[in-house]
Structure 1
Amino acid sequence: MSLSLKKDYQVCEEIGRGRFGVVSRCFSTLTGNSFACKSIDKTQLLDEIDRECLDKETKIMNHVVGYENIVNLVDVFEDETHLYMILDLCQEQTLYDRILQINRSFSETEACAIFTQLIGAIGHCHRRGVAHRDLKPDNILFDQWNNLKLADFGSADWVNGDEKMEGIVGTPYYVAPEVILGREYNEKVDVWSAGVILYIMLAGIPPFYGESPEEIFEAVIRGNLRFPPRIFRSVSSSAKDLIRKMLCRDVSRRLSGEQVLRHPWIISGGETRAMVDLT
Structure 2
Amino acid sequence: MSEALNREYIVSEEIGRGKYGVVYRCHSVATGHCRAVKSINKKLIENDAVDSQCLRNEAKLMQFVGGHRNVVQIFDVYEDDEFLHIVVEYCGAQDLYQRITARQVFSESDALRKMVPLMEAISHCHSLGVAHRDIKPDNILFNNYNELKLADFGSAECFHTGEPMSGIVGTPYYVAPEVVAGRDYNEKVDVWSAGVILYIMLAGIPPFYGDSAEEIFEAVLRANLRFPRSVFGSVSSEAKDLLRRMLCKDVSRRFSADQVLRHPWMRTGG
Q: Would you call these one fold, judging by a TM-score over 0.5? A: yes
**Structure 1 residues 255 and 237: alpha-carbon distance in aligned structure 2, compared to 1, 3 A threshold:** same
The match for 1:277 is none
Letter in 1 for 2:105: S
- Aligned partner of residue 4 in structure 2, secondary structure: helix
Query: TM-score, normalized by length of structure 1?
Result: 0.95
Question: Is the Cα–Cα contact under 8 Å of residues 15 and 92 in structure 1 kept in the other structure?
Answer: no
Q: How far off its partner does 1:92 sit?
A: 4.7
The match for 1:138 is 138
Alpha-carbon distance in 1 for matches of 2:55, 2:99: 28
Q: How far off its partner does 1:155 sit?
A: 0.2
Question: Is the Cα–Cα contact under 8 Å of residues 176 and 192 in structure 1 kept in the other structure?
Answer: yes
Query: TM-score, normalized by length of structure 2?
Result: 0.98
Q: Higher mean Cα deviation, 21-30 or 46-55?
A: 46-55
- Aligned partner of residue 253 in structure 1, secondary structure: coil
Check if 1:8 corresponds to 2:8. Answer: yes
Letter in 1 for 2:244: R
Aligned-pair identity in percent equals 61
Q: How far off its partner does 1:65 sit?
A: 0.7
Alignment of 1:171-250 (within 5 A): 171-250=171-250
- Aligned partner of residue 201 in structure 2, secondary structure: helix
Alpha-carbon distance in 2 for matches of 1:19, 1:235: 39
Question: Is the Cα–Cα contact under 8 Å of residues 176 and 193 in structure 1 kept in the other structure?
Answer: yes
Q: How far off its partner does 1:47 sit?
A: 1.2
The match for 1:38 is 38
Check if 1:61 corresponds to 2:67. Answer: no
Q: How far off its partner does 1:44 sit?
A: 0.9
Q: How far off its partner does 1:70 sit?
A: 0.4
The match for 1:93 is 94
Alpha-carbon distance in 1 for matches of 2:220, 2:140: 22
Alpha-carbon distance in 1 for matches of 2:98, 2:50: 30
The match for 1:108 is 108
Q: Number of paired residues?
A: 269
Alpha-carbon distance in 1 for matches of 2:11, 2:214: 41
Alignment of 1:111-126 (within 5 A): 111-126=111-126
Question: What does the per-residue CA deviation read over 1:222-264, in whole Å, with 9 as the maximum and x for residues that have no partner?
Answer: 0110000010011000000000000000000000000000000
Question: What does the per-residue CA deviation read over 1:159-207, in whole Å, with 9 as the maximum and x for residues that have no partner?
Answer: 1121110000000000000000000000000000000000000001000
Letter in 2 for 1:91: G
Alpha-carbon distance in 1 for matches of 2:115, 2:40: 30
Check if 1:158 corresponds to 2:155. Answer: no
Q: How far off its partner does 1:152 sit?
A: 0.2
Alpha-carbon distance in 2 for matches of 1:50, 1:17: 16
- Structure 1: any 5+ residue segments left out of the alignment? 273-279
Question: What does the per-residue CA deviation read over 1:48-100, in whole Å, with 9 as the maximum and x for residues that have no partner?
Answer: 11111112111111110100000001100011111001000002521000011
Alpha-carbon distance in 2 for matches of 1:173, 1:264: 26
Alpha-carbon distance in 2 for matches of 1:148, 1:91: 11
The match for 1:72 is 73
Alpha-carbon distance in 1 for matches of 2:93, 2:31: 23
- Aligned partner of residue 161 in structure 2, secondary structure: coil
Alpha-carbon distance in 1 for matches of 2:254, 2:24: 39
Question: What does the per-residue CA deviation read over 1:16-36, in whole Å, with 9 as the maximum and x for residues that have no partner?
Answer: 111111111000011111100
- Aligned partner of residue 13 in structure 1, secondary structure: strand
Question: Is the Cα–Cα contact under 8 Å of residues 208 and 219 in structure 1 kept in the other structure?
Answer: yes
- Aligned partner of residue 249 in structure 1, secondary structure: coil
Letter in 2 for 1:87: V
Letter in 2 for 1:237: S
Structure 1 stretches (4+) deviating beyond 6 angstroms? none
Alpha-carbon distance in 1 for matches of 2:75, 2:38: 11
The match for 1:252 is 252
Alpha-carbon distance in 1 for matches of 2:2, 2:22: 15
The match for 2:26 is 26
Alignment RMSD: 0.7
Question: Is the Cα–Cα contact under 8 Å of residues 168 and 179 in structure 1 kept in the other structure?
Answer: yes
